[in-house]
Structure 1
Amino acid sequence: MAYDLQDKLVIAISSRALFDLEEENAIFDREGLESYYRHQLEHLDAPLAKGSAFRFVQNLLAINKKFDNKLIEVIILSRNNAATGLRIGRSIEHYALDIERTGWTAGTPVARYLNAFKVDLFLSVYTPDVEEAVSSGVAAATILPHTPVSSQESDIVKIAFDGDAVIFGDESERIYQEKGLEAFIKYERRNAKNPLSKGPFFKFLKTISEIQDKFPMEASPIRTALVTARNFSTHERVLGTLEGWGVRVDEAFFQGGVQKFEVVKAFGADIFFDDQDTHLEHTAKETPSAKVPYKH
């Protein structure tokens, strides 16, 4: 019987998001593909350093050790060609990552393959691929530069999300951008009983929630947090929407415009998703962070 990805949480990630390939990418930009390929072959036995999303992936894969059947599948999808993946494969083995499936597109946009692999989340450093993924209905984000600290594998994965334009749609975000805070608060209070629309990360959060439901609340291997710039005065619509969706969020922080990075750090997030540079430029210094495309 063919291996079925349908009932898994499937994360697709580019090689540059998983490993630190900035030196190699600079060689490619400066000298071209042949020099890049030669450099990789000459350094086959030198494991690549951990990239921005390494901790997130490592801890996700650790969940599988609790089960006979995998719950999490991580797939490398890269614009490299297959030959340049040799060093990536050696590095995967070096870190004992349980990654068995890869795709190498030799420059072809990877977004066209996401649905074929039943992908729930795509992470890349290449924003055009991320934007195409979102346009095709897949949750996707651009992973930002972050230097991982040396850490041991954890038995719990912590994921933090912004609300508007990430978990929820952007209608309220647009009102805030166009008319200001007072109009936004009035709009939210007027629509407190009306659920928010589903944002680009709704399906991803829903899949996570379904995994959480397999465990007692205190024993779940995944913990989530909503970290929003909203005031608490607009909480009713947010919490009512999540309840109506049957989606679980373990912790919720209504920041009222206060910078998010300290709360995200205190939560201990393995990754934080937001659409606003003003927050991400601070969180990325302490926490692996990823930008969800949003055209203001």
Structure 2
Amino acid sequence: MRAFNSIEEYGLTIKTGSFTSGRSLAPFVPAWGIDLFLSNETSDVQKAIEAGTAAAKLSGVPVDRQTIREDEVRIAFDGDAVVFSAESDEIYKTRGLQAFLAHEAENATKPMAGGPFGNFLKKLSILREIYLSDDGVSKVRIAIVTARNAPAHARVVHTLRAWGTPADEAHFVGVNAKAPLLKAFGAHIFFDDQEKHVLGASRVVSSGHVPGPHDPDEAVIPAG
């Protein structure tokens, strides 16, 4: 009752839901056909990812959150192991930075496979197109904020083009912190698979940690 009373109070058009007396919500994520699952429960998020749904564990409320525009939705994503598959990450982890850079240069025009948020990005791009104005500006604004830098940037651009999922902004930050870029973008929410980046970004933007194959203390794909 409290949930539906709150929905009514805030004027949200939500009429359905599942309530499980504290039991895991993960089995109901595919049952409802949910595109994005956000939770503070690590196990639920992991199971939702395993079921093929974009999911992330939310950080706390940003302490330095800026005033956010209400006429746009601005969403930022990391690239590898979030929007894209972890294949390139694995090359870096097992064979080193130079092998990673050589692989990405050799495959620069070959689209990457999708990661946990690949399908969600494609659906979000449809909304972006729906709300696109005549001057080419959408109320749904998408940014890619990745630790890649040149020459590994090219494969990101070619992949987005091949998918038909244009990003309004792309930031190739290398070893630089992502938080200042996310603050400048004015993101409403940011998704990353590395806890280091999530913790740093969570000071300025609501951030979601996407479970992935990485050691949280090990940086992946540094600048080279």
Please confirm whether the aligned pair reaches a TM-score higher than 0.5, indicating the same fold: yes
1:274 aligns with 2:192: yes
- Alpha-carbon distance, 1:89 to partner: 2.9
1:189 aligns with 2:101: no
Aligned to 2:39: 124
- Alpha-carbon distance, 1:154 to partner: 0.6
From the two aligned structures, give the one with the greater helix fraction.
Answer: 1
2:187 counterpart letter in structure 1: A
Aligned to 1:211: 127
- Alpha-carbon distance, 1:287 to partner: 0.4
SS of equivalent to 2:17: strand
Q: Which whole-Å deviations, capped at 9, do the CAs of 1:164-186 have from their partners, x for residues lacking one?
A: 00000001111223333222111
Aligned to 2:156: 238
SS of equivalent to 2:152: helix
1:200 aligns with 2:116: yes
Rounded Cα–Cα distance in structure 2 between residues aligned with 1:140 and 1:222: 20
Aligned to 1:141: 56
Quick one: structure 1 residues 204 and 156, their matched pair in 2 at CA, closer, same or farther if it must change by over 3 Å?
A: same
Aligned to 2:141: 223
Native 8 Å contact 2:68 2:188 kept in 1:
no
Quick one: structure 1 residues 198 and 129, their matched pair in 2 at CA, closer, same or farther if it must change by over 3 Å?
A: same
- Alpha-carbon distance, 1:272 to partner: 0.1
Rounded Cα–Cα distance in structure 2 between residues aligned with 1:152 and 1:170: 32
- Alpha-carbon distance, 1:153 to partner: 7.0
Aligned to 2:94: 178
Rounded Cα–Cα distance in structure 2 between residues aligned with 1:150 and 1:133: 31
2:96 counterpart letter in structure 1: G
Give the alignment's TM-score, normalised by structure 2: 0.87
Q: Which whole-Å deviations, capped at 9, do the CAs of 1:126-159 have from their partners, x for residues lacking one?
A: 0100000010111100011124769677111000
Native 8 Å contact 2:73 2:140 kept in 1:
yes
Higher radius of gyration, 1 or 2: 1
Aligned to 1:64: none
SS of equivalent to 2:26: helix
SS of equivalent to 2:101: helix
Native 8 Å contact 2:84 2:112 kept in 1:
yes
Structure 2 residue corresponding to 1:261, chosen from 179, 184, 193: 179
Percentage of matched positions with identical amino acids: 43
Aligned to 1:102: 17
Rounded Cα–Cα distance in structure 2 between residues aligned with 1:141 and 1:200: 10
1:161 aligns with 2:102: no
SS of equivalent to 2:31: coil
**Paired residue total:** 211
Residue range with higher mean Cα deviation, 158-167 or 194-203:
194-203
- Alpha-carbon distance, 1:218 to partner: 3.4
1:252 aligns with 2:170: yes
2:126 counterpart letter in structure 1: E
- Alpha-carbon distance, 1:207 to partner: 0.3
